[in-house]
Structure 1
């Protein structure tokens, strides 16, 4: 099962955060948002299919996030968690930690914004169209 989110980068994308990455439906980004990779996301966790959500709530689930922009792609792999609610109407966050809130779509991720390929980050900072594909197994 998968969910696909389309968004675009912004000049303030720095992707320096060490423990999270984020796509947001907001139409702006300040320099402080160092985990945000793309803005104006066309879908948010509250839009995701209930079957996808249920699959992600399995602690044994493997969730992959593939981030694509400007001809570059990077995949981050994490885990599901029983407390994932997918209720947020604004932001999608992947976390290296086990912290869960209504924005969290994966925990225990093997990478964060600061770990992403810098060519991908440059494309995002130049405003490239971005795709986030979330898959759960």
Structure 2
């Protein structure tokens, strides 16, 4: 079974992508330099908006959750980064501001996947430069799990 959610956002001049254990996409329209895990702002959807079937699929600890960030500059250059993680029974998708992917197993209401194989600091620096320049972002989450 495969479920999908898509979020649109944009980069911000304060994107540094230096955090070593998380990455985040937020609906906030601002970003301070301290937000070193945040990749994009002004997300048009938040975890609380996601379909129930998607949320349920993500609660399977055997599920694979694939986060793909596609960044497109005003000049038409495109950069893509994919992070693989997994589901967790405690994922709630109730947050109304932020999507956070984690390399750890920590779960709160912002967590969208755990056990990520990359964090913000691992993202391609050309992609990060495009985010810093305010590029458009397509953030896609796909959950795959074996059917019962």
Alpha-carbon distance in 2 for matches of 1:115, 1:75: 11
TM-score computed with the length of structure 2 as normaliser: 0.92
Q: How does 1:70-81 map to 2 (within 5 A)?
A: 70=72, 71-81=78-88
Structure number with larger C-alpha Rg? 2
Shift of 1:95: 0.2
Alpha-carbon distance in 1 for matches of 2:119, 2:64: 16
Match for 1:42 among 44, 66, 70?
44
Gapped runs of 5+ residues in structure 2? 73-77
RMSD in angstroms over aligned alpha carbons?
0.4
Q: How does 1:33-112 map to 2 (within 5 A)?
A: 33-70=35-72, 71-112=78-119
Gapped runs of 5+ residues in structure 1? none
Alpha-carbon distance in 2 for matches of 1:65, 1:44: 14
Shift of 1:92: 0.2
The list of structure 1 runs, each at least 4 consecutive aligned residues, that deviate by more than 4 angstroms after superposition, is none
Shift of 1:85: 0.2
Q: How many pairs are equivalent?
A: 137
Shift of 1:121: 0.4
TM-score computed with the length of structure 1 as normaliser: 0.99
1:132 aligns with 2:139: yes
